[in-house]
Structures are given as C-alpha cells and as structure tokens.
C-alpha cells in the first residue's frame, strides 16, 4: 500500500519505500504540521544524498545539523531534531541491522511493539500508539493485540496520521484535532 501523507509524490514514495523514512517522519511529527514533518526525510535526501540510517548515524553532527536547518528546515526545531534523528539512526543500525521495519515486523505482539517504539528517541506513549495504528492500517502489519496497543487510534475515523490516505482524510484529521484542542481549551477555562 502506498503512503499519502505529504501531498508530494517524491516524499510519499520515500515514506512508502523506506521504513526508516516513515519512522523519522513520525518522530518529527510534534509541534509541527504533520504533512511538513513527514516531508523531513525527503528534505534530508535532497541535501544529504541518501536516507540510509548507517550514513546518517555516522555523519558529522555539526554538518548534519546545518543541512537539517537549511531553509526550509526539517522541523521548527532543526538542531534538536537533527540530533534526535542521528540517535534514532544509530539505534536502528545497532539494534535492527539498519532495517527499521524490523521494529514492527519482528515484534512479538502489540505490547512488544509499543515497548520497542517507546524506547526510541521522540516516541512517547501517544506517538507509539499512533505509529502502531499507522503500521496496522497503512502497512497491514498487525501483531497480536495491536488494537489494544493502539487504543483509540485503532478505531475507524480520522484521529491521526494513521488515518491519512489523501488530502480529504488529511483535512478530516486536522478538523478532528482542532475540535479536540478547542474542547480541551473550553474544559480548562470552564474548570
């Protein structure tokens, strides 16, 4: 199945064909619009020449940070995200032989997959659940218990990047997030 998150054919192709790129896009998806976060790997390819985790892991940190900060930057916080990206690359190389997909394809079950994801830099509980739903819904990788591991993100609807398959679904996810944020704000001011 092809990934359609960024509305950029080359970036979506990279996310579809490179599991490390998909993982990094998810890592970058915080305090930044999701479609821009998932464009980050394509920006790195254009400047670095590849998206091989082994090459990224050993790149000079200052040079790599500079290329990540080049306008348009890979994130609104390019310095910290470039360091996090390199750390993620090192983990993928050291623990998964450079094959990020092994994180989800070799997980014993949904609980194990959550544990593996939460051990990665930038992956807290919520992001790990969303990524479990993403690999289940969009890649068809469904370890036993994935629904429980993904929680509400396993449900049908438009809650997260796991539900984005085209520009229409992207807008529905944006609308859901906007409504959830407004409800949280209203609850905070009412209490």
Number of folded domains that form the chain: 1
Look at residue 1 and tell me if it is in a domain.
no
pLDDT at residue 97 is higher than 80: yes
Mean pLDDT of the chain: 94
- Per the domain annotation, does 67 fall within a domain? yes
Q: Is the dihedral of CA 78, 125, 16, 175 positive or negative?
A: negative
CA 125, CA 135: separation in Å to the nearest integer?
A: 16
Which pLDDT score, from 0 to 100, does residue 41 have?
98
In a domain, 98, yes or no: yes
How far apart, in whole angstroms, are the C-alpha atoms of residue 191 and residue 188? 5
In a domain, 60, yes or no: yes
In a domain, 102, yes or no: yes
Question: Is pLDDT of 46 > 80?
Answer: yes
Measured CA to CA in angstroms, residue 117 lies from 91, 103, 122, 127 at distances of 11, 7, 9, 9
Instruction: Judge whether 143 lies within some domain.
Output: yes
Give the pLDDT of residue 115: 97
Residues 155-168 have pLDDT tens digits of 989 999 999 988 88
What span, in angstroms and rounded, lies between the C-alpha atoms of 80 and 97?
24
CATH (domain of 152): 1.10.340.30
Is a pLDDT exceeding 80 seen at residue 80?
A: yes
The parent domain of residue 16 ranges over 9-190
The pTM for the full model equals 0.93
> How does pLDDT run across 98-114, given as a tens digit for each residue?
999 999 999 999 999 99
Would you say residue 3 lies in a domain?
A: no
In a domain, 71, yes or no: yes
- Give yes or no for residue 191 having a pLDDT over 80: no
């Amino acid at each position: 199945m092809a990934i359609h998150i960024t509305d950029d054919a080359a970036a979506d192709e990279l996310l579809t064909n490179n599991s490390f790129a998909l993982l990094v896009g998810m890592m970058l998806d915080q305090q930044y619009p999701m479609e821009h976060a998932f464009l980050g790997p394509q920006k790195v390819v254009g400047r670095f020449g590849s998206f091989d985790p082994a090459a990224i892991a050993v790149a000079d940190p200052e040079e790599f940070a500079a290329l990540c900060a080049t306008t348009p930057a890979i994130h609104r916080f390019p310095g910290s995200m470039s360091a996090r990206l390199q750390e993620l690359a090192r983990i993928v190389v050291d623990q998964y032989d450079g094959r990020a997909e092994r994180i989800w394809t070799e997980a014993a079950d949904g609980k194990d997959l959550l544990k593996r994801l939460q051990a990665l830099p930038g992956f807290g509980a919520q992001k790990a659940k969303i990524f479990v739903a993403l690999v289940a819904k969009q890649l068809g990788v469904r370890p036993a218990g994935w629904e429980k591991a993904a929680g509400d993100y396993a449900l049908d609807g438009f809650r997260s990047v796991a539900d984005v398959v085209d520009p229409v679904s992207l807008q529905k996810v944006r609308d859901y997030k906007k409504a959830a944020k407004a409800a949280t704000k209203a609850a905070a001011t009412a209490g």
